[in-house]
Structure 1
Amino acid sequence: MGLLEAGCEIEFAPPPELCISILRQSILAVHDTKYIDYLRVAWSHWSQNQNASTEIFPNISPNRHMVNFNENPVALAGWYIADCAAPIGQFTWENSLGSVSAVIVATSRIKAGELVVYALCRPSGHHACRDMAMGMCFLNNSAIAAVELRKQFDRVAIIDIDMHHGNGTQQIFYQRGDILTISIHGDSRDFYPFYSGFENEYGSGDGEGYNLNIPLPKGSNEAFYLKALEKSASRVLSFKAEALVVATGFDTFKSDPLGCFALESNSYYKIGRMIRSLNLPTLFVQEGGYFVEALRENARQLVKGFENV
């Protein structure tokens, strides 16, 4: 409703089954083939087992001392699902495809010349790695969007403004220099996903210097946040990006149950203004932001801030 109140025109993406070949091509430009094949059939195979649970949860997490691949359904769950926050249910694959369908339509609008499009996706995607689901994310919508935009723009930047580090996006592009990845998030020393998102993660190989993490302490307010966003904007400009993906999370709001920051509703207006000042074709891709009464207003403020520069 917040997007409608901001004056956005609503377009529904086509059902995934009508464009599955296009979606698969876009997905495989980002994700591992075996991982995608697992997601596609995971529930149907799992549900055939006697006494199968209603959702697939891993009960083992392979580590560096375990090197042999095992195709037992329980073993596969541990191999491809990183934590218990990404259970696979009956409609997980179809819902994830729906998110990608929305992203593909949105990127096509940007490539056709529109200045800004908002892809309202669920489930979100920025924790999904190339070959692993985690944190309620299965397919990395923001990464897929960036690769789609690269078909037309030489340099694409991603700014992740979700409360949590965009670890999956970082992992996917860590060795690439044509897609700049930036994440502003709660300090991973104290906050999910704990093992990534630190300032010393710069990228490697061709991607060295093209990954920027800005971790902020618990309780960070608008002033702290806008300073971090200003640093991000400066990096995008120096990168000479031609298009921008904003991995958009509202779990930075002060009362979000999964957040630890202290942003107010009008903070998102200022965030939108700063993003607009970059003067780039911009695709907002929905990430986190959970059910609080102000969620509607926060989304409205972000869009109005972008529009009113």
Structure 2
Amino acid sequence: MKTIFSPLHAGHSGQMELVAGEIVPGFEMPSRAEYVRARVESEKLGPILPPVEHDLAAAKRVHAADYIDFLPTVWPEWEKSGRGGSALGYTWPTRGLRADVRPKTIDALLGYYSFDAGAPFVKGTWDAIKSSYDVALTAAELVKGGERSAFALCRPPGHHAGAAFMGGYCFINNAAVAAQWFRDQGAKKVSILDVDYHHGNGTQEIFYSRADVQVLNLHGDPMSEYPFFLGHADERGAGEGEGFNINYPMPPGTSWERWSASHEDACAKLQDYGPDAVVVSLGVDTFEKDPISQFKLKTEDYPKIGRRIARLGLPTLFVMEGGYAVEEIGINAVGVLTGFEEG
């Protein structure tokens, strides 16, 4: 399996985030991607290739154009306002406030285009975002070109980013971009299988009213787990998309037995849907030692995930999402990929 990776991700470094009432160093750190890359090498998964640069047209197929145009301006505007550190919003247009009028100042715009204070910018953030997007599209092109699978080692991740909002460490929704790109290249149907601990709220929001992209999410129950405000089992899509959004919320402490039963059901529904390609949002924060998650999967479980996905027999793009037990992230993420290769 070929891996696409860009060292530009490292420019998104030293950022701070707001968590549980404190401004703390970001859990989403450069070493995450470097541990995964090192494990790809040590396991001899396959060649590691640089991304091909793309314009932003594919991003604007799933995101609002004004939102995408805003992202490269954040750090220059923040610096122009005389500040350093991390650029973060602190006011959001919630219920009863106006979200139909685009404000002008950088502080207001950061709130306007986000749903939390978990998507900070530093000087190198835009270059990292753009390289992550290029990584996803380059890997998608490999799959479209005939590869059975490819691994987009994206950083920053993407599945919390919606059509016009960032949050949860995510800016451009790489999995959604890739799914739409497959559609634009001729795939009649695409499935996104999100195995990250946290619900892929952005992916759900983007495709919620569509029947051509099936979205299956396995995640912590939003009654008690971030991102809290999407991911319930009764969210099944709207209009033409009804029945094509499927959520599997699970309680804290979920172990392999329950998680794998949900995964089996999701894979069966995916098979019944009959997509031309599968995009896997590969988060490994389901791991028992993850510092910000509550599931209990063990290292030996991750190859089983890959083997089950391989049994689908479909062209498959793996897109890196979460996982914050940094020393084990490479072992667990690459475990899914080697399991797929064996399957």
- Indicate the SS of the match to 1:199: coil
* Aligned 8 A contact 2:289 2:325 in 1: no
* Aligned 8 A contact 1:160 1:246 in 2: yes
Match of 1:45 in 2: 77
* Aligned 8 A contact 1:272 1:306 in 2: yes
What are the within-5 Å matches in structure 2 for residues 26-175 of structure 1? 26-50=58-82, 52-67=83-98, 68-150=101-183, 151-175=185-209
- Deviation sequence 1:203-260 (CA, Å, 0-9, x none): 1111111100000110111111110000100110111111100000010000011111
Match of 2:3 in 1: none
- Indicate the SS of the match to 2:176: helix
| Residue 260 of structure 2 corresponds to residue 229 of structure 1 | no
- My pick for the range that moved more, 86-95 or 229-238, is 86-95
Identity within the alignment, %: 37
1:13 to 29, 45, 50: 50
- Deviation sequence 1:126-174 (CA, Å, 0-9, x none): 0001101000000000001101111231110000000100000000001
**Structure 2: how far apart are the matches of 1:179 and 1:4?**
33
**Partner amino acid for 1:227?**
A
**Partner amino acid for 1:114?**
E
* Aligned 8 A contact 2:191 2:213 in 1: yes
**Partner amino acid for 2:108?**
A
1:191 to 214, 225, 229: 225
- Kindly state the Cα deviation for residue 94 of structure 1 after the two structures are TM-superposed: 1.0
- My pick for the range that moved more, 125-134 or 5-14, is 5-14
List alignment gaps of at least 5 residues for structure 1. Answer: none
What are the within-5 Å matches in structure 2 for residues 154-303 of structure 1? 154-303=188-337
**Structure 1: how far apart are the matches of 2:342 and 2:141?**
24
**Structure 1: how far apart are the matches of 2:172 and 2:244?**
22
- Kindly state the Cα deviation for residue 3 of structure 1 after the two structures are TM-superposed: 1.9
**Structure 2: how far apart are the matches of 1:138 and 1:100?**
10
**Partner amino acid for 1:304?**
T
- Indicate the SS of the match to 1:24: coil
- Kindly state the Cα deviation for residue 10 of structure 1 after the two structures are TM-superposed: 2.9
- Indicate the SS of the match to 2:58: helix
* Aligned 8 A contact 1:23 1:97 in 2: no
- Kindly state the Cα deviation for residue 72 of structure 1 after the two structures are TM-superposed: 1.7
- From the superposition, tell whether residues 292 and 95 of structure 1 become closer, same or farther in structure 2 (CA, over 3 Å): closer
* Aligned 8 A contact 1:6 1:303 in 2: no
* Aligned 8 A contact 2:280 2:316 in 1: yes
**Partner amino acid for 1:62?**
P
**Partner amino acid for 1:234?**
A
List alignment gaps of at least 5 residues for structure 2. Answer: 1-37
- Kindly state the Cα deviation for residue 26 of structure 1 after the two structures are TM-superposed: 0.9
**Structure 2: how far apart are the matches of 1:301 and 1:141?**
21
**Cα root mean square deviation, aligned:** 1.3
**Structure 2: how far apart are the matches of 1:298 and 1:74?**
38
- Kindly state the Cα deviation for residue 90 of structure 1 after the two structures are TM-superposed: 1.4
- Kindly state the Cα deviation for residue 54 of structure 1 after the two structures are TM-superposed: 1.9
**Structure 2: how far apart are the matches of 1:276 and 1:122?**
24
- Kindly state the Cα deviation for residue 53 of structure 1 after the two structures are TM-superposed: 3.7
- Indicate the SS of the match to 2:197: coil
Q: How many residues align?
A: 303
* Aligned 8 A contact 1:3 1:299 in 2: no
- Deviation sequence 1:67-103 (CA, Å, 0-9, x none): 2332122111110122111112212111010001111
Deviating beyond 6 angstroms after TM superposition, the runs of 4 or more aligned structure 1 residues are none
**Structure 1: how far apart are the matches of 2:103 and 2:133?**
29
- Kindly state the Cα deviation for residue 23 of structure 1 after the two structures are TM-superposed: 3.0
